[in-house]
């Protein structure tokens, strides 16, 4: 069985945690579509195409064919890593200076078209869990299962801040909150494929749920939708 599972939601609402957990449990491929937008943003920063938060859109769009994004599985860390033109950039794309402008880069229609095409190609044979903002609405509108994650603002700030602390980033909770709310606003109000819950997505508010409880809920949902034909590890 090769289901396509779409997980969408605002930043730091636990999308990737549930997506990775589901992929492992159901032996599916996991694709972090946000990492692809982050990789393009990093490329733009590295090539001087963003100056003081201002994007040179035309130049970036012209450079898109030169950008190769891929994912590789690191057997040592047991984690997926993002490659930008062959270079491993997993940590770099998570840094605050990338987060600060990624929503603006993601709002460029040509960037979206470029990535949506690649995301669809990755899902051609099914058997994957993809998380992002427009997976259930635009990338895979016919996905077998769609989940829309939500969580309280407090818990989102706490999770993101802790994640950054663990990576050694020095940043205040207020700066994290500001970036989250800024990205929420841009992601939900951009003209091209804004973040909205697909009509047929099931909402998962994980504010007070443990990872185990969320996973149990999600696995049950997938099994229900797929008529129990998904094999479990
Ligand atoms: O999931 P994330 O926080 O790593 O995503 C980074 C940014 O990428 C987010 O602010 C919006 C954008 N994004 C998007 O526009 N569409 C997606 N499918 C995934 C991410």
Ligand 1 center to residue 163 CA distance, Å?
Answer: 17
Length of the chain, in residues: 233
Q: Name, in order, each residue with C-beta under 8 angstroms of 155's C-beta and a sequence gap of 6 or more.
A: 207
C-beta of residue 37 within 8 angstroms of C-beta of residue 47: no
188: left (phi over 0), alpha (psi -120 to 50) or beta: alpha
Domains of the chain by residue range: 4-223
Angle between helices 109-122 and 33-46 in degrees, nearest 10: 130
Kindly give the distance from the C-alpha atom of residue 113 to the centroid of ligand 1, in angstroms, as a whole number.
Answer: 14
Top mutation candidate among 19, 30, 33 for ligand 1, by most atoms within 8 Å of CB:
33
Residues facing 225 on adjacent strands: none
Positions of E strands within the chain: 4-9, 29-32, 50-51, 54-55, 69-74, 79-84, 87-88, 128-132, 145-150, 202-205
* CATH class of the domain at 4-223: alpha beta
Instruction: Ligand 1 pocket test: pick from 11, 91, 104, 106 the residue with the most ligand atoms within 8 Å of its Cβ.
Output: 106
Helix, strand, coil shares of the chain as percentages rounded to 5?
50, 20, 30
pLDDT tens string, the chain, 233 residues long: the values are 689 999 999 989 999 999 999 999 999 999 999 999 999 999 999 999 999 899 999 999 999 999 999 999 899 988 889 999 999 999 999 998 999 999 999 999 999 999 999 999 999 999 999 999 999 999 999 999 999 999 999 999 999 999 889 989 889 999 999 999 998 999 999 999 999 999 999 999 999 999 999 999 999 999 998 887 555 65
In the sheet that 69-74 helps form, which strands lie side by side, from edge to edge?
69-74, 79-84, 87-88
Residue 6 in contact with residue 139, Cβ under 8 Å? yes
Measured at the CA of 108, the angle between CA 119 and CA 3, to 5 degrees, comes to 20
Q: What 3-state DSSP class applies to 28? A: coil
Which protein residues touch ligand 1 with a CB less than 6 Å away? 11, 33-34, 37-38, 102-103, 106, 132-135, 183, 187
């Amino acid at each position: 069985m090769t289901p396509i599972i779409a997980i969408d939601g605002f930043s730091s609402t636990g999308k990737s945690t549930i997506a990775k957990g589901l992929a492992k449990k159901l032996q599916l491929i996991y694709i972090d579509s946000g990492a692809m937008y982050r990789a393009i943003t990093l490329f733009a920063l590295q090539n001087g195409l963003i100056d003081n938060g201002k994007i040179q859109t035309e130049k970036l769009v012209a450079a898109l064919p030169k950008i190769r994004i891929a994912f590789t599985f690191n057997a040592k860390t047991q984690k997926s890593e993002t490659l930008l033109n062959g270079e491993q950039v997993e940590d770099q794309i998570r840094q605050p200076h990338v987060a600060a402008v990624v929503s603006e880069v993601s709002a460029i229609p040509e960037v979206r078209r470029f990535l949506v095409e690649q995301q669809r190609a990755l899902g051609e044979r099914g058997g994957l869990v993809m998380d992002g903002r427009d997976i259930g609405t635009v990338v895979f509108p016919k996905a077998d299962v769609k989940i829309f994650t939500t969580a309280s603002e407090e818990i989102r700030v706490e999770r993101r801040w802790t994640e950054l602390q663990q990576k050694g980033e020095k940043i205040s909770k207020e700066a994290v909150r500001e970036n989250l709310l800024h990205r929420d606003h841009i992601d939900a109000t951009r003209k091209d494929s804004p973040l909205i819950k697909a009509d047929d997505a099931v909402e998962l508010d994980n504010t007070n749920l443990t990872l185990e409880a969320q996973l149990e809920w999600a696995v049950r949902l997938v099994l229900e939708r797929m008529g129990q034909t998904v094999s479990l590890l």
